[in-house]
């Protein structure tokens, strides 16, 4: 069954939100989500809003959904901000669509990519990246011994060679269209900044732990600033999970397609309770 189709068919509120999204986006994204090919789902302007819609709408179907704290990985931060009431469904969707289009333009401006590095300390990876005379930076701190780097194609190639020689368990390019969470996303950050500044942000019902600093915030102005910075800054997911656990989190519910984040949380603390919505 297509992405989100079961939600559409079995929950009236979900169906209303999907149809609202179709209207606001100006095309029937549900047709692509429910019946499109994998290539269709990878199209500019489809992937990010589709994941956002699945996550946010799924959350509305959870009985008694009252998180004490929220966080999201990269795009997922927008879903988290709807879940805790900082952004409305409509404003969140609008920002996600604008983000997707801005990132695509930045990707087309300069060839760039990302790579996953397994089995090395973060500090080792950072040191290699900083010693290369190309744009290449740590982009995603996903878990202990698991980091993603991002940069120019040449910079990534040089880093992969050096990291492999230093004993990385795995060092491989990822099938992505650009260097997300790196300085090469600056054009997208600048474009999205205006939209984020103009969107209404409310006081949330619980704190969001944001990607750029892994710290909790309930201040709309600070949340806005961090969201703007997110496009060119690394996703500090490892640090986010550590801080949430330190602040009292005892169980995590992943809301959205897949269960990747549950696996990453278990890498930080294998005794932590995790579940899918």
- DSSP class of residue 131? T
pLDDT in 10s for each residue of the chain, 277 residues = 588 999 999 999 999 999 999 999 999 999 999 999 988 888 878 999 999 999 999 999 998 899 999 999 999 999 999 999 999 999 999 999 999 999 999 999 888 999 999 999 999 999 999 999 999 999 999 999 999 999 999 999 999 999 999 999 999 999 888 999 999 999 999 999 999 999 999 999 999 999 999 999 999 999 999 999 999 999 999 999 999 999 999 999 999 888 999 999 999 999 999 999 8
Q: Is residue 83 part of a domain?
A: yes
Q: Is residue 160 part of a domain?
A: yes
Whether residues 70 and 188 fall in one domain: yes
Closest C-alpha among 77, 87, 93, 80 to residue 23: 93
Whether residues 159 and 259 fall in one domain: no
Res 256: pLDDT: 86
CATH number at residue 151: 3.30.70.250
Whether residues 95 and 205 fall in one domain: yes
CATH number at residue 188: 3.40.366.10
Res 219: pLDDT: 98
The whole domain housing 127 covers: 112-173
Res 193: pLDDT: 96
* Cβ-based burial of 213 (10 A; exposed 0-12, middle 13-18, buried ≥19): middle
Tens digit of each residue's pLDDT (9 = 90 or more) over 96-124? 999 999 999 999 988 899 999 999 999 99
Q: Is residue 166 part of a domain?
A: yes
**Sign of the dihedral defined by the CA atoms of residues 235, 146, 49, 215, in that order:** negative
Q: Is residue 54 part of a domain?
A: yes
Which long-range CB contacts under 8 A does 74-78 form with residues at least 24 apart? 74/140, 74/180, 74/181, 74/211, 74/230, 74/235, 75/48, 75/51, 75/99, 76/51, 76/256, 76/261, 77/208, 77/210, 77/211, 77/227, 77/230, 78/52, 78/227
Whether residues 16 and 99 fall in one domain: yes
Among 173, 203, 219, residue at a domain's last position: 173
Whether residues 163 and 189 fall in one domain: no
Res 277: pLDDT: 85
Whether residues 17 and 94 fall in one domain: yes
Whether residues 265 and 167 fall in one domain: no
- Euclidean distance between CA atoms 127 and 40, whole angstroms: 39
Domain count, the chain: 2
Among residues 79, 152, 181, 217, the one annotated as catalytic is: 181
Res 75: pLDDT: 97
Res 220: pLDDT: 98
- Euclidean distance between CA atoms 128 and 224, whole angstroms: 32
Q: Is residue 164 part of a domain?
A: yes
Q: Is residue 178 part of a domain?
A: no
Whether residues 19 and 103 fall in one domain: yes
Whether residues 26 and 47 fall in one domain: yes
Whether residues 22 and 156 fall in one domain: no
Q: Is residue 229 part of a domain?
A: yes
Question: In sequence order, which ranges of 174-218 are alpha helices (DSSP H)?
Answer: 186-198
Does the annotation mark 54 as catalytic? no
Spatial contact of 168 and 127, defined as CB atoms under 8 Å apart: no
Whether residues 15 and 94 fall in one domain: yes
User: pTM of the predicted model, to two decimals?
Assistant: 0.95
Whether residues 124 and 10 fall in one domain: no
Among 173, 201, 217, residue at a domain's last position: 173
Among residues 54, 73, 74, 217, the one annotated as catalytic is: 74
Does the annotation mark 74 as catalytic? yes
Among 154, 173, 192, residue at a domain's last position: 173
Closest C-alpha among 121, 62, 52, 70 to residue 241: 70
**Neighbour tally for 178: CB within 10 Å:** 21
Res 1: pLDDT: 59
């Amino acid at each position: 069954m297509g992405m989100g189709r079961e939600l559409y068919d079995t929950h009236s509120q979900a169906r209303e939100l999907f149809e609202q999204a179709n209207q606001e986006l100006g095309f029937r994204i549900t047709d692509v989500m429910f019946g499109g090919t994998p290539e269709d789902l990878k199209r500019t302007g489809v992937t990010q809003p589709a994941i956002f819609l699945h996550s946010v709408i799924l959350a509305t179907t959870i009985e008694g959904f009252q998180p004490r704290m929220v966080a999201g990985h990269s795009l997922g931060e927008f879903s988290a901000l709807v879940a805790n009431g900082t952004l409305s469904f409509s404003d969140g969707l609008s920002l996600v669509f604008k983000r997707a289009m801005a990132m695509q333009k930045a990707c087309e401006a300069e060839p760039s990519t990302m790579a996953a590095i397994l089995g090395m300390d973060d500090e080792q990876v950072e040191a290699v990246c900083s010693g290369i005379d190309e744009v290449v930076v740590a982009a995603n701190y996903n878990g202990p011994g698991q980091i993603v780097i991002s940069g120019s194609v040449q910079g990534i190639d040089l880093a992969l060679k050096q990291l492999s020689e230093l004993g990385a368990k795995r060092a491989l390019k990822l099938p992505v269209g650009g260097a997300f969470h790196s300085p090469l996303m600056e054009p997208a950050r600048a474009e999205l900044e205006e939209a984020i500044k103009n969107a209404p942000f409310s006081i949330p019902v619980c704190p969001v732990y944001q990607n750029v600093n892994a710290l909790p915030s309930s201040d709309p102005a600070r949340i806005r600033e961090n969201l703007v910075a997110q496009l060119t800054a690394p996703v500090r997911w490892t640090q986010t999970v550590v801080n949430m656990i330190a602040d009292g989190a005892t169980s995590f519910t992943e809301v959205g397609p897949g269960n990747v984040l549950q696996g990453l949380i278990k890498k930080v603390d294998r005794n932590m309770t995790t579940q899918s919505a």
